[in-house]
Structure 1
Amino acid sequence: MMPDPDRILFFDGVCNLCTGTVEWIIRHDVRGVFRFASLQGEHGQAFLRGQTLPTSAHATFIYLRNGKVLDRSTAALQVARDLGFPWNTAYLLILVPRFLRDAMYALIARNRYRWFGRRDKCMVPTEEVRERFVG
């Protein structure tokens, strides 16, 4: 069963760029509002089965915010907005048409392993942040 926090970020747990982004968000989420789940994990797979995305959709950054599913560039920009100042200023990029934002997102997603590398196993959270991870 999926827990029901207000804000869960689903990410590719073996992608260095993705896990690095999660670590960055944890450091800058001073209010502690975000929770995290690897798309390869039990909760990530359960979430994907309940969506229109295939359970192999690891190339997508997904943000479940107050029951609404956001993905790709829109998800990333909403996370920046929810982090507060100064990161929320990045939300101005929402004015760029989504097809352009998502094209850039897709380029990075397609090349993320080549450019940033990948791990053999999913990220294991440290004891200090373990409670922020779902599952």
Structure 2
Amino acid sequence: MVEKGKKIILFDGVCNLCNSTINFIIKHDKKDVFRYASLQSKVGKQLISERNIDTSKLDSILLIDPALAYYYKSTAALQIAKQLSGIYPLLSVFLILPTFFRDWVYDIIAKNRYKWFGKKESCMIPTSELKALFIDQ
């Protein structure tokens, strides 16, 4: 289903902010660390089920590590930033902040993402060049 050793980012496929974020990650994933699927996809649902992940904590992003670990909300975002090229790994310094505070800020953005950034009628369809990076095709 997914190449060995790749980390999987599950994202809200109808969220404009989430789709823009995935495009940003793809552009800055110079080490080819990540593969992608929407939370709404069959593969996304299967991965969540296989790992018995509490879906009440999922609303926009989930990072699944090949070692069966997973991260959500602000921790997922910061763990992703650690793997990107450029200055973005420096954002991981925010991991020293208490999770409840980071997730509080994250939740404000997540709860308002459709209002602020809009919503698509269907999940993003990757270009032909990007299809190999998506595991739910």
Q: Same fold (TM over 0.5)?
A: yes
Letter in 1 for 2:82: R
Tell me: CA distance 1:46–1:71, structure 2 relative to 1, closer, same or farther (3 Å). same
Query: Does the 8 Å CA contact 1:15/1:119 hold for their aligned counterparts?
Result: yes
d(CA) in 2 for partners of 1:46 and 1:57? 16
Residue in 2 aligned with 1:112?
113
Q: Give the drift of 1:59.
A: 1.2
Q: Aligned partners of 1:126 and 1:4: how far apart in 2? A: 20
Question: What's 2:104 paired with?
Answer: 103
> How far apart are residue 52 of structure 1 and its match?
3.0
- State the one-letter code of the partner of 2:107: A
Provide the residue aligned with 1:59 in structure 2. 59
CA contact (8 A) 1:40 1:58 kept: no
Name stretches of at least 5 consecutive residues in structure 1 with no aligned partner: none
Helix, strand or coil at the partner of 1:40: coil
Query: Does 1:33 pair with 2:33?
Result: yes
CA distance, structure 2, for counterparts of residue 4 and residue 127 of structure 1:
19
Once the two structures are superposed, residues 23-48 of structure 1 have per-residue CA deviations (whole angstroms, 9 ceiling, x without a partner) of 00011111222100000011011122
Q: Which amino acid aligns with 2:59?
A: A
Q: Give TM-score, length-normalised by structure 2.
A: 0.90
- Structure 2, gaps ≥5 residues long: none
TM-score, structure 1 length as denominator?
A: 0.91
Q: What is the match of residue 3 of structure 1?
A: 2
How many Å apart are 1:63 and its aligned residue?
A: 0.3
Q: How is 1:118-133 mapped onto 2 (pairs within 5 angstroms)?
A: 118-133=119-134
SS of alignment partner, residue 63 of structure 1:
strand
Percent identical among aligned pairs is: 38
Please give the secondary structure, in 1, of the residue aligned with 2:64: strand
Amino acid corresponding to residue 44 of structure 1 in structure 2: G
Task: Name the amino acid aligned to 1:64.
Answer: I
Cα deviation digits, residues 51-93 of structure 1 (max 9, x gap): 2323x86513100123211111000001000114411000001
